[in-house]
């Protein structure tokens, strides 16, 4: 499996795919969707689809595919190689989402939580199979969130396809099991061969399972947190585990934010303004706090609400004019220029302007 695109840019996402079997463009197909690496604080999350013709489903079952969590790494690798060898009727595609993409999406000013990211990624892969010419007739998905809501959403998106969303679908449907194997093999390879762009001293590759409650993973995070710049791109810094370590181990950072760069309706910041034009936001390294691990972010707008703009100044009234009298706009403008300018204009300039006004223009 070639993950060189992820190595070149570990801040975004990359998509991998097998060749589409010719039979999958001719016969109705069944397609399964599953993911690997949704919960860990380290490494990417990988979504995968696997598909085959309905007429060859028995051949896929004969491969003895199963939920990837119940298989050893060597068994998963063997089954993935077998699916590649049977490429005349089995196809797959992957979407690898980097830790940086996951965290920046979750911490954006517009909420984009992990469930929404997962739903959109799965939907995108089903659409990708259709765009490749696969005749998808049935889709089976391992649920994220409420199965009924998720299924209704996918059914509306793909009205011509029979959609089934179930919890533990990777243990119920062989085509989802095959997708889970593809996803897990890709994630394991990405984690094992991760290219650290940061120059880390004494890099320790023993980071445990990568899950937030693993003591080895926590020890690795504490060892490799940089006091000012935080974690390497291998870490999902939006996870509560990473945030707690940042709060304890890293230095505080003071952000100075101009009032005028804020948007109307933003949430109030934690600090009052220091001057009429600027506010100071004392935030911990990493930017944000009070976030559940892998959950939604409720306090993600860092900037204070913009102050209401002052009303525009009333048009000047020339001396001696009664109420309700309107003036030529040029006359009013000249009056403002001459009488209200700070500092006042030089006498010679006043004479020139008055001469031009009296002999060239009329109110």
Residue numbers belonging to the annotated binding site:
34-35, 142
Q: What does each C-alpha distance from 270 to 108, 218, 219, 247 come to in angstroms?
A: 18, 29, 31, 16
Exposure string for 59-78, b = 16+ CB within 10 A, e = fewer: ebeebebbbbeebeeeebbe
Backbone Cα Rg of the chain: 31
Does residue 31 contact residue 139 with C-beta atoms inside 8 Å? Answer: yes
DSSP states of 90-112: -EEEEEEE-HHHHHHHHTSSS--
Token pair of 97 as six digits: 């989402």
**CB-based contacts of 267-275 (< 8 A; 24+ apart in sequence):** 267/299, 267/301, 267/305, 268/304, 268/305, 269/301, 269/302, 269/303, 269/304, 271/304, 273/304
- CA distances to 157, 290, 342, 362 from 338, rounded to whole Å, are 66, 57, 9, 17
**Which residues line the annotated binding site for a divalent metal cation?**
34-35, 142
Which residues face 13 on adjacent strands? 97
Strands 91-97 and 136-142: unpaired
Selection from 179, 156, 162, 212 nearest residue 68 by Cα:
179
């Amino acid at each position: 499996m070639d993950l060189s695109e992820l190595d070149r840019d570990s801040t975004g996402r990359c998509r991998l795919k097998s060749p589409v079997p010719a039979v999958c463009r001719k016969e109705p197909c069944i397609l399964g969707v599953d993911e690997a690496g949704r919960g860990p604080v380290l490494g990417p999350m990988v979504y995968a689809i696997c598909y085959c013709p309905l007429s060859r489903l028995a051949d896929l079952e004969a491969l003895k595919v199963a939920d990837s969590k119940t298989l050893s790494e060597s068994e998963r690798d063997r089954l993935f190689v077998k699916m590649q060898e049977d490429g005349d009727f089995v196809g797959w595609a992957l979407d690898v989402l980097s830790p940086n993409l996951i965290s920046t999406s979750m911490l954006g000013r517009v909420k984009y939580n992990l469930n929404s990211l997962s739903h959109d990624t799965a939907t995108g892969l089903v659409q990708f199979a259709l765009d490749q010419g696969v005749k998808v007739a049935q889709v089976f998905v391992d649920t994220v969130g409420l199965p009924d809501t998720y299924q209704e959403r996918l059914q509306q998106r793909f009205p011509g396809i029979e959609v089934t969303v179930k919890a533990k679908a990777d243990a119920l449907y062989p085509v989802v099991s095959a997708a889970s194997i593809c996803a897990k093999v890709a994630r394991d390879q990405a984690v094992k061969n991760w290219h650290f762009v940061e120059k880390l001293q004494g890099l320790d590759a023993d980071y445990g399972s990568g899950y937030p409650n693993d003591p080895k993973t926590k020890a690795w995070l504490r060892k490799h947190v940089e006091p000012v710049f935080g974690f390497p791109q291998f870490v999902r810094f939006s996870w509560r585990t990473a945030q707690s370590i940042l709060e304890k181990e890293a230095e505080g950072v003071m952000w100075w934010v101009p009032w005028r760069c804020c948007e109307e309706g933003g949430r109030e910041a934690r600090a009052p303004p220091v001057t009429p034009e600027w506010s100071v936001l004392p935030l911990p390294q990493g930017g944000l706090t009070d976030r559940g691990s892998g959950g939604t972010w409720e306090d993600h707008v860092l900037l204070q609400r913009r102050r209401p703009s002052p009303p525009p100044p009333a048009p000047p009234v020339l001396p001696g004019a009664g109420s309700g009298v309107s003036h030529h706009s040029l006359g009013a403008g000249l009056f403002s220029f001459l009488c209200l300018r700070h500092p006042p204009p030089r006498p010679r300039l006043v004479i020139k302007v008055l001469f031009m006004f009296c002999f060239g223009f009329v109110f």
